[in-house]
Structure 1
């Protein structure tokens, strides 16, 4: 159910502590916005000197109001903050918005003060946003407690940046977007991003949730809340290029960055991850109408070859396809277009729009009706005929009227189908494009924005899923190579036969247990191959003995492992690892492995544990995935067995929080079954 936040967004009464008539003070801006509620609820302005603010009589303290206060906004100097919070709680406040700064963001001492305040708030059964925040607003309840006003709409913005909200306000306007809520997250001492995300998911006035976050706090909880939101969640975050906090003692650690972790969490949770305020706006505009593409096949319609080619490239760069249309669809297009029109995809009117603007509408209708098309992108000149300059060569009134009629027909056809239609126009502000926007059709001036919008309709709410973390298993008492290997074997992961040895007598005993060829490994090294601590394909006891003597003389390891050498001739080596991220918990990595794991860097990520079905999708998404199906005479390998092994390894790692990193490399995948050839674990 989540935390009860009704007192934050629809309080019975509000008090602004620190209200001021001085425009330079934040208490003035908050008070000026608060009075816009125009009697929706009692509003009290508090200034310790008394007098008036904005022509309204103030109270010198919360206690002097003489009645309970449901929500208190506190904008006072840091020295008086704790006293103001305590007084608010004594006056019955169920919610506090803490504007005041000077706490965790200043260092350890400020963090201690902040934590103490948050504990008192929670002990009183209240909630607090901030401190160090810029306020909140809820257009659905006429709650205006931020320094700026926000155009009403269906987007809830949860942000660690106030200026970003102002930029989005400007970017939203051309697309008819607005805000249901705005919350400045601040230091999240009490109410967290996860709390707010869950509440906005329940909020009927919110259709989509936009998040700008630099600190997720509990990233796993964020992903879980987003996955269960039931409405689009779009995330803009910073710092994704830096390596996450880890020891990086394994290939998995070395290959995993914060960008990988956040990207995996967003994909699994069905969150749209964006890189800029502009892209965030594009995605929200695309998702605003609620349309979702059932696949990734896009039909591109243009009235000029150049626009069509550029749009097709942009669509494919966005991860979609522009397939050649089948014969049946091309024949239907031929019925509405003239001879020189191209109908393969991109579909090019080739000048017919100038002769008959209605051809745009007829072609859009045919493409939206085609069973082999999942979405349509109209790109180019449409909108120019009705633009203020009259279009090409003056265009003329007839063409302008024809285009506006075509826009009305396109809008009607769009309303009658569930397939997404996105438009890129050289004249996005033309009357024709306004008609399209009014019908819920996203219109953009940049081709790459239109392509990204189509991609958003294809990927929204299609997260691969989050699997709950298992209960912790009894901790491993040791994480050495053989200890980890035995634990993984017990979990169901197959390994070749092996025996730990310390001397030549143990070596001889191993050769009597299983036949060669053999592998010899020194056990005191984390990266055995790099240090010359692995000898492969030792044909028999004599070669094994010689390799042992040489390796022992050089490394002097306290113990060694003698193992049966696997047949590598028909298999492919993978790497499967799990790195425990400080924010998102266990994160799995799968890819092509062996000694070339870091050189190839062909890997994919997901939040662990990864069930077999999701693991197979990760494997098939690798750049060189065709190798798994067999190439140049090599047989296909057992992908199902590989996916099952990924599930085993990642579930094991997720159940052992005492392990910071675990890795199986290589995992040999053969035409039938898999075999783990090496493993390592790094304790937390």
Structure 2
């Protein structure tokens, strides 16, 4: 488990003060004071105003020193010029936690960052905590703490946001799904407390059932991963909304690995390692949270064990909000650990051909499969439906007049081992408009559909043109997420399979540093770790005439056995510079290639290497690049000359296990080449995966290596070996 800081004083202080309290409704000091006074009956609240004028009808004090009794948590909402002295006043008054509402620090440039860092160091030296600065406050519905700029309904979601306005939007869209909040923390500039600290504190918070995060700067990315992984392990899903995709952080990379790695790809890799659900918008976050939690209109995931919920009942100090359901850990009945809802193959149930076809397109665009049903299931469905109904997937009810058909067909689909989940789309929810009898029947069928989803333990999402109908409300209340847009239903099902499983591998011990970055050095480093390379010999040219070096190369080639490869050393891209001669079949060809390279390249040395048999093999790339936030990141993909052209690559935090490496390989677009296609034999995936795992272990053990790469890595039907290697030192 990751190391945790005790944040109890931040979320459950014995007393609080607002420094910068104001009667001006346009100021944060006023907004925070309004919220602070809501808890005046449960803990001492002191308002500090340098003029000592009443605020909101309450008396104020000029300084914290004048306030009666100790103050554990101080919220500071003063102009930037007064922030540092205000922090000093708070620390002198014995504050153990400070919330900095004030803006105007690191976000403005180096001078502001210097002040921010100086203040943070002072706070840490005093043994206190600092949230922010440049934030909207903090709240905890389980302790009655209301020190955020806006009121929030209670519930089971802990919302952590680096952006203030994004926090407000997320709180609104989540509340719109009937979801309330256990905790809220506005991260701001993260001068002291970072997202990782807040996530880790939520893992042991009884009221937190789900953690929603908006973060732009992860700081220590590995700390974030460790905290999120711990939350995943204890069954508290982490949903992340972030920005990225810029290539700015990798413009200086000099290898294929660096050139093909983007910020967004690294964040995706971090999310996969920690089991985090990465979403693309506030709406996606709310839809997924609604599917994982109890809530309306999104409902909660109808799996055995009840909807994820918990938290305080409605009517608490946050005000309003629906009561939450019982505690639930996603994946409790599905296997794979908390949060592991593995949705890959989806059955589509529609009451119209157009809706069914569109749902299939959207599901496949979201990365899911809509496979043809096995014959046994198709036969079972054929017996329940009119002759004109489609039963191969999607299923089109084709005007089936018995509304109970929805529940029976759904039960049959979910009962198949070939189905991981289902999407129902179309008119269901609107049949009740045709009369009271049909309305009653539709509500009953909705309950039966929810029962089927729960009993089979598989996710079901419902898209309906009538999301506010009685039947839709029954589905939502019984834990089946309901959507007014089919694309939201499809995307949410896809997101359910994107997180919940931790794959973080502990880093190896730090090894003695590497000081040389040539091909031979990279080859030797990897070979000592267990990576197989073709037999080879090093030919140095220092202090030798070209003829003597050529003689040594010829003798080495004779010992290795022809055909051989001649490689010039000391070149960033040997092939591009004409520093590689392949398939040399005898001494005459070898000497000619050596003479040509000597004339053109003035290389400090050469490598004579056995020519690998490429028959039946596939060239791959295995690389590791050190990301400034998340540390070593592994890249696996199609290699050789196609690496940058096709960009068929996958990423994971390094080191990776052989099992994870194999998953990366089989997830490539070109994976069919590895499994064998058009008469080509399948390659030894286990051998390739084991070699990739070793490369990532070596890179992770050497923090001085910025990039490490084996390209090509030749995977054959019987083994895997490296054909070239490259080191870039930090």
Q: Does 1:451 align with 2:453?
A: no
1:326 aligns with: 374
Q: Which residue of 2 aligns with 1:193?
A: 195
Displacement of 1:38 in angstroms is 4.8
Aligned partners of 1:669, 1:436: CA distance in 2, in Å?
A: 50
**Structure 2 residue 160 is matched with structure 1 residue 112:** no
Q: CA deviation at 1:651?
A: 0.4
1:599 corresponds, among 641, 645, 661, to 645
Q: Confirm whether residue 269 of structure 1 aligns to residue 274 of structure 2.
A: yes
- 1:234 partnered with 2:243: no
Deviation at residue 407 of structure 1 after TM alignment: 2.1
Give yes or no for contact 1:160–1:214 (8 Å, CA) kept in 2: yes
CA distance in 2, matches of 1:325, 1:422: 19
CA deviation profile, 1:385-406 (whole Å, cap 9, x unmatched): 33xxx3xxxx233322322232
Structure 1 residue 295: Cα displacement = 4.5
**1:27–1:75 CA contact under 8 A, matched in 2:** yes
Give 2:363's aligned residue. 315
Q: Alignment partner for residue 341 of structure 1, among 379, 389, 398?
A: 389
| Cα 1:6/1:327, change in 2 over 3 Å | same
Residues 375-428 of structure 1 show CA distances to partners (whole Å, capped at 9, x for unaligned) of 121111011133xxx3xxxx2333223222322333344444422221101111
Question: Deviations along 1:518-539, whole A, 9 cap, x unmatched?
Answer: 2111112110101111111111
Of 278, 282, 286, the match for 2:291:
286
Gaps of 5+ in 1: none
Further displaced range: 542-551 or 502-511: 502-511
Match of 2:334 in 1: none
The residue number in structure 1 matching 2:8 is: 6
Q: Distance in 1 between matches of 2:410 and 2:78?
A: 58
In 1, are the aligned partners of 2:427 and 2:464 still within 8 Å (CA)?
yes
With normalisation by structure 2, the TM-score equals 0.89
- Corresponding residue number in structure 2 for 1:466: 504
Matches within 5 A, 1:241-640: 241-245=246-250, 247-288=252-293, 289-290=307-308, 291-292=330-331, 293-352=341-400, 355-386=401-432, 390=433, 395-463=434-502, 465-501=503-539, 502=541, 503-640=549-686
Q: What is the RMSD computed on CA atoms of the aligned residues?
A: 1.8
Q: Distance in 2 between matches of 1:438 and 1:8?
A: 34
Q: What CA deviation, in whole Å up to 9, does each residue of 1:37-57 have, x standing for no partner?
A: 251211111111112111111
Number of positions where the alignment pairs a residue of Structure 1 with one of Structure 2: 674
Q: Is the 8 A contact 2:343 2:496 kept in 1?
A: no
Partner of 1:170: 172
CA-CA distance at 1:507 after TM superposition: 2.0
Contact 1:287 1:456 in 2 (8 A): no
Q: CA deviation at 1:22?
A: 0.7
Please report how far the alpha carbon of residue 332 of structure 1 lies from its aligned counterpart in structure 2 after TM superposition.
4.1
Query: 1:208: how far off?
Result: 1.0
Give, in whole Å, the separation in 2 of the partners of 1:286 and 1:212: 19
Q: Which moved more, 1:500-509 or 1:412-421?
A: 412-421
Encode CA deviations 1:9-58: one digit per residue, 9 max, x unaligned: 11111111100001111100000111122512111111111121111111
1:16–1:457 CA distance, 2 compared to 1 (3 A): same
- Does structure 2 retain, via aligned residues, the 8 Å contact 1:99–1:135? yes
Q: Is the contact made by 2:350 and 2:394 (CA closer than 8 Å) also made in structure 1?
A: yes
Q: Per-residue CA shift, 1:242-286, capped at 9, x if unaligned?
A: 342462211111111111111111112211111111111121112
CA distance in 1, matches of 2:36, 2:456: 43
Residues 1:625 and 1:306: Cα distance change in structure 2 (over 3 Å) = same
260 and 243 in structure 1: CA distance in 2 versus 1, 3 angstrom threshold: farther
3-state SS, counterpart of residue 683 of structure 2:
coil
Query: 8 Å contact 1:285–1:453 — kept in the other structure?
Result: no
Which TM-score applies when normalising by structure 1?
A: 0.95
Quick check: 212-221 or 239-248, which moved more? 239-248
User: Aligned pair in 2 of structure 1 residues 542, 412: CA closer, same or farther (>3 Å)?
Assistant: closer
Distance in 1, matches of 2:384 and 2:720, equals 56
State the alpha-carbon separation in 1 of the partners of residues 386 and 561 from structure 2. Answer: 75
Secondary structure, aligned partner of 1:53: coil
Q: Which residue pairs with 1:48 in the alignment? A: 50
